Chain A
């Protein structure tokens, strides 16, 4: 799987995403805290394994009850992706829970966590893993929100996030 990471990074960055990789949850967490501080404003964090294992984050002041109001008012939204696709730089997220969608679509910045062992080559490899009857809303995300509807000029950040920060974490259960 490791050999897929450079390709994922290249493709995701070509789609204007920012890609980071950390050796463990602790390093990833300090990066998240640092990012949230730099951005200012509030942060919403949708449920996921990383969060469940992260221990007590109450002191950071994050909001874990992701309502529409909280997400619409937040600067940063955090959620966990289930797979990453190297061919296209895409994240695949089971977004059946509304919180997953709110955290990844309403705030100005979306930070997506993904287990470093969750990279697959592409669509053909991920589709057999998907059980649509179980994952009622599956989201594939490639880079931030974009449009070229005015004079074909590419502009980042329309209705969705204007930044997508992808954080690969080694050694976490997915």
Chain B
């Protein structure tokens, strides 16, 4: 990451107003969105949005031609532009030709994307943004920090200052008054403007209609009062049929602002009369700007399913810390990272793709069912292909891809760390490593890895065999978790095997764009884990389980590896996470917990991969309750703890505040302990609580359950 980029993160973090506003909003948003979907089936709605938008993305050219024919038959002028420069030239030429002096605009990300205002103003035209947020940032000479709420980063005091400096002195930081002021100042602009420029939220090919979704009422005035209306529309806004607008209008307001519907939805089909009775001139510009290229890319086509609701920003634990400007000048947040890489250029996304913590919260709420984290990984992979892996990373991955060397280095680390380790923790590291232990203690590498201990655990002989996949962190730092897993499975009568050839799951390499390394890890593990005929391959690390179940296949697919695909699928079918397997054993009556004892209150942290990829939020909770614990839910229990593998090493400045919030939420429950299913989360949360000197204990669910076996 560049120094300038790291500086921009620091600057954003140092802005308390920004973090306060975004933090409060992120909490309120979750509540209002949920309320807006009450009684509706969000999954079914987003299936329809995805279908409508995916169909359109697959037929862009056809739909654009149909739209043009239909709209022109009604009297509109449709101009198809492939480059931003063409759009700018068209609008400027039209304005000159028609003697336009002033222009009013309603909110349009497409015009932000091409910096249209700058171009028109440079030619001497007066351009007024009329959406309140857009007007504020226009006056402040800034860019939008959010797709739906462009000025969310500014306080009322800052807005007041902008109004005082740029419009008229004497304003006070009273929000209703500031809004009234904007109304009073912009009303004459609407009435005097010669041209109105809007975007469009949907363009319907069948009918040639534009759909505008707004709250303030400015788009109605922009499209009614001036004699010329220009709509700048990205071609991804096209849908085939008129009825296709229904799922989008159902999802967009609910996901964007938690509204059932925005105050105004306008459906404009062809030119309508001006107030003086003359026919309005309607120009619709269908802008490509690499969207067709995106549609032709098998991986990125799905990004065109975006309806620009910005919910991926609203639920992002990183966005709520740093706001939009760290992401760039136009599109921000998760989808913004992807759009920037395409509409601007891939290398523009080099730094910002690193902000993604891969927690998957955005994927959970995306109304277009876009796998945003996966697309960001794909960006990462392509960037690595383009510029190569860094020297240090290359060296690390060379080691990780050689199991014997990797494991002997971990063993050596256990000896080397001795001066720093006390009671299983490393609390301070010297020199350049000190950043790693500033906000949390690190676990010491265990003296004896689990792979050695396992040899001493006598296994019951059974026809039912399961292979245990430990993963590096459990194997080398938390062997007690593995012992708990084996104890529980043995108790249920299962014979556990520990295939010696198992190695790193490849997640670190994959999440850093080193897919070749990840594929090497995948091959080694597939060979080791399928050596014997086992019923299940169980892991107590959700990230590892996701690797076995999904990522090996995804990595092979990305690289076009065919020869190991069949085995990867066999392994995927056998792979299962610890809690889901144990829940099955308990349900089958094969495991019982001690009863008759009142246990302490416990709270549970959902690990990202377990909840959102493996969909296993219930099994660990049911098991803990069955084992006698009283479960107290914490606020934001399913929000990332900030660990995310190497993320906490690369961006400790973001990992630390995410963790801080998690620790606050844990402590607020008053529970004496917190359980989770991921050794990475244990490392982060236990390390954080240790630094605070907190008495709250942190354990893997397996350890908690093993203590309670009958």
Contact = CB atoms under 8 A, between A and B. Distances in A.
B218 A127 contact: no
B360 interface: no
A162 to B, nearest CB: 9
Contacts of B268: 136-137
A55 B178 CA distance: 43
A160 B217 contact: yes
Contacts of B276: 67-68
Given A68-B225, A105-B220, A147-B215, A89 B260 contact: yes
A89 B253 CA distance: 14
A158 B191 contact: no
B267 A132 contact: yes
Contacts of A158: 132, 179, 182-183, 215-218
B667 to A, nearest CB: 27
Interface residues of A, number: 49
Interface stretch (B241-249, B508-516, B635-643): B241-249
A160 B220 contact: yes
A161 B176 CA distance: 14
B106 to A, nearest CB: 9
Contacts, number: 174
Interface stretch (A19-27, A32-40, A94-102): A94-102
Contacts of A149: 131-133, 136, 149-152
B420 interface: no
Interface string A152-170: 1101011111000000000
Contact of A150 (B156, B207, B257, B277): B156
Contacts of A145: 215-217, 263-264
A133 interface: yes
Contacts of A160: 216-218, 220-221, 263-264
Interface string B253-281: 00001011111111111111111110000
B28 interface: yes
A118 interface: no
B191 A123 contact: no
Contact of A137 (B175, B250, B267): B267
The interface centre, meaning the residue of B156, B159, B215, B268 with most chain A CB atoms within 10 A of its CB, is B215
A145 to B, nearest CB: 4
A80 B209 CA distance: 23
B260 A146 contact: no
B90 interface: no
Nearest to A128: B243
A132 B21 contact: no
B16 to A, nearest CB: 14
Contact of A157 (B159, B183, B207, B257): B183
A68 B226 CA distance: 11
A43 interface: no
B269 to A, nearest CB: 4
Given A15-B260, A68-B225, A140-B264, A98 B175 contact: no
A153 B25 CA distance: 10
B249 A123 contact: yes
A117 interface: no
A133 B176 contact: no
Nearest to B180: A157
Given A143-B263, A151-B175, A68 B191 contact: yes
Given A123-B249, A132-B242, A159 B221 contact: yes
B100 interface: no
A72 B188 CA distance: 10
Interface string B323-358: 000000000000000000000000000000000000
13 contacts: A15-B259, A72-B191, A98-B277, A105-B221, A124-B246, A132-B207, A133-B270, A142-B265, A147-B132, A147-B179, A159-B183, A159-B187, A159-B216
Smallest CB-CB A-B distances: 4 pairs: A160-B217, A149-B133, A140-B265, A132-B269
Given A88-B261, A102-B224, A137-B223, 18 more contacts: A89-B260, A96-B272, A105-B220, A127-B242, A132-B269, A137-B272, A139-B266, A146-B216, A150-B133, A151-B156, A152-B25, A152-B28, A153-B175, A157-B179, A159-B183, A159-B221, A160-B217, A161-B217
